[in-house]
A = this chain, B = another copy of it.
Amino acid sequence: MSCLESLSKEELIGLKGSLQKEYEQVKSRNLKLDMSRGKPCLAQLDLSLEMIGLLHTPEDFRSENGMDVRNYGMPDGIPEARRLFGEMMGVEPEAVIVGGNSSLNMMFDTVARSMTHGVCGYSPWSRQGRVKFLCPSPGYDRHFAVCEHFGIEMIPVPMDENGPDMDMVERLVQTDAMVKGIWCVPQYSNPTGITYSDEVVRRLAAMTPAAKDFRIFWDNAYCIHGFSQDDRNVLNILDACRQAGHEDMVYLFCSTSKVSFPGAGVAAMAASRNNVDFIKKCIGIQTIGPDKINQLRHVQYFKNLDGMKAHMAKHAAIIKPKFDAVLEILEENLSGLGIAQWTKPTGGYFISFDTMPGCARQVVELCRQAGVVLTPAGASFPYGKDPQDSNIRIAPTFPVIEELRQAAQLFCLCVKIVSIEKILLAK
C-alpha cells in the first residue's frame, strides 16, 4: 500500500469505512488479550522448574564458606552468589551485593537511602533542595514512578539508537548540582530495545558531574537477554568509570527475574568499594539478610555465566518467534504507509512503536475497547506524559502466539483508523 498522506479525502473516507467494519467484527469476538507488561509466558516459567527441587538434605544447605544458608546472616549474600552475579555484571565478587527477589526494590532502596542518608557521606538528598534525575525517554515507567514517589524532578532526555542524547546529558550533569542521577537500561533498553553504543558508555563514564553525589543508575535488566548469543554486549560501565577515574559514579543492578522466575528470582547490585561499604552499613540495619536458600538454589542450578547463557538460549527460542510474529504483522500491515515506525530489537522484552504525533492515546483506547490491553500511552515518559503522544510499548512475550497475532492484527487496524482520522482532520 502507498503512503496514506498521498490519498485523496474520498479514498481515505472509503478506506476508513472498510477498516471500521473490520474493527467492529473483531470487537464482536470479545477478545481478552494483554500486550501490556514485560511478563514471561508460562513456557518460560517452566524452563527453570527443576531448580525448585534442587536442595534436599541438611548438607545441601551449606554455602561454600561453611555457613548454613537456612539460618540468619550474610546480609550481602552468599559468596557463590556474589561470584555468579559478579560474572553476570562483569565485576569482581567483592563489588556485589546480592539481595532479595527484586532489583526494583534495590533501586528504590538506593534512592530512599540517598534521600534520607545521602551518598557515601554527602548530605542527604532530601536536605539539598529539589533533586533532579535525568530520564532517557521513552524509558522504564517504574523507574519514573520511584522518582515521582520521592518528589524527584524528572528531566526527559531523548533517546536514539545509540542511547540517550549525550550532549544534553553532559550539559545537565556537568552544570546542575541538583542533578543527582540518571536512569539507564543500557542493553535492550526498555522499551526501545537499543543497546548503548560504546561511545555513549565512555562519555557517561567520563562525565565530571557538578554534584559530587551524582550516580548513574545502571539497570542492566536485560544483560543476557539477547535473542542470539553473539549479539553485541554493552560496554562494562564500572570498568569505563574506573578508567576515567570515576569508579564511585555508578550503581549496577541486575536480576534473574527474566532468567529464572519473575516473582522469585534473585536480584543484585554492584558498585565501587566505597559505595558497597556505605550501602552494606545501611543494609545491616535494614535486614538480617536476604533469602540465601534461593540464592544457593540459583547458583546450583546455573553454576556460572555460561550456564545462565545456555538457559537464556531456551528463553530466546520461546520469545523470538513472538517478536517475529508481531514484527511480521506490523510490516505487512503498516509498512510504507508513512504513519508509523517501530524498533526491531535483537533482545529484551519490548518493541517500541511510534504512531503519528497525537495518535498514541487513541490507538491504545481503541484497542482496549476491542479487548486488547496495551501499556497506557505515555507510560514510558516521565509523569506519564509523552510530549508527542506517539509512543506505544508493545510487550509480546506473555500471550501465546496465536493470541499475539490476533492482538497485533487488531493493533494495526487501530493504528490505521486513528491515523486516517488524523490525516483527514488536516486535509
Q: Which residues of A contact B (CB under 8 A)?
A: 37, 39-40, 42, 45-46, 49, 52-53, 55-58, 61, 68-74, 100-102, 104-105, 108-109, 112, 115-117, 126, 142, 145-146, 149-150, 257, 261-264, 282, 285-294
Contact = CB atoms under 8 A, between A and B. Distances in A.
A245 to B, nearest CB: 32
A58 B45 contact: yes
5 contacts: A45-B61, A70-B261, A102-B288, A117-B149, A291-B294
Nearest to A108: B286
Which of A40, A262, A287 is the most central at the interface, judged by chain B CB atoms within 10 Å of its CB? A287
Contacts of A49: 56-58
Given A56-B53, A69-B264, A150 B116 contact: yes
Contact of A55 (B52, B289, B294): B52
B46 A285 contact: no
A264 B285 contact: no
A400 B53 CA distance: 30
| Copies of this chain in the oligomer | 2
A287 B126 contact: no
Contact of A72 (B39, B57, B146): B39
Contact of A45 (B68, B126, B263): B68
B100 A149 contact: no
B112 A116 contact: yes
Contact of A52 (B45, B74, B289, B293): B293
A288 to B, nearest CB: 6
Given A115-B116, A285-B149, A42 B58 contact: yes
Nearest to A146: B285
A69 B293 CA distance: 18
A149 B291 contact: no
A81 to B, nearest CB: 12
A282 B149 contact: yes
Given A52-B293, A108-B285, A116-B115, A263 B69 contact: yes
B53 A290 contact: no
Contacts of A69: 263-264
Contacts of A37: 72
A262 B71 contact: yes
A335 B37 CA distance: 67
Nearest to A45: B70
A263 B71 contact: yes
Nearest to A38: B72
B287 A108 contact: yes
Contact of A264 (B146, B149, B262, B291): B291
A319 to B, nearest CB: 14
Closest 9 CB pairs of A and B: A264-B293, A105-B287, A108-B286, A72-B262, A70-B261, A101-B291, A102-B287, A45-B70, A264-B291
Contacts of A262: 70-72, 288
A40 B285 CA distance: 20
A28 B109 CA distance: 47
B115 A70 contact: no
Nearest to A106: B287
A277 to B, nearest CB: 16
A115 B105 CA distance: 18
A202 to B, nearest CB: 32
Given A40-B71, A100-B100, 14 more contacts: A42-B58, A45-B70, A49-B56, A69-B263, A70-B261, A100-B291, A104-B287, A108-B285, A112-B112, A126-B126, A146-B286, A264-B291, A264-B293, A291-B294
Contacts of A56: 49, 52-53
A208 to B, nearest CB: 30
A37 B71 CA distance: 11
A286 B68 contact: no
A71 to B, nearest CB: 5
A207 B112 CA distance: 32
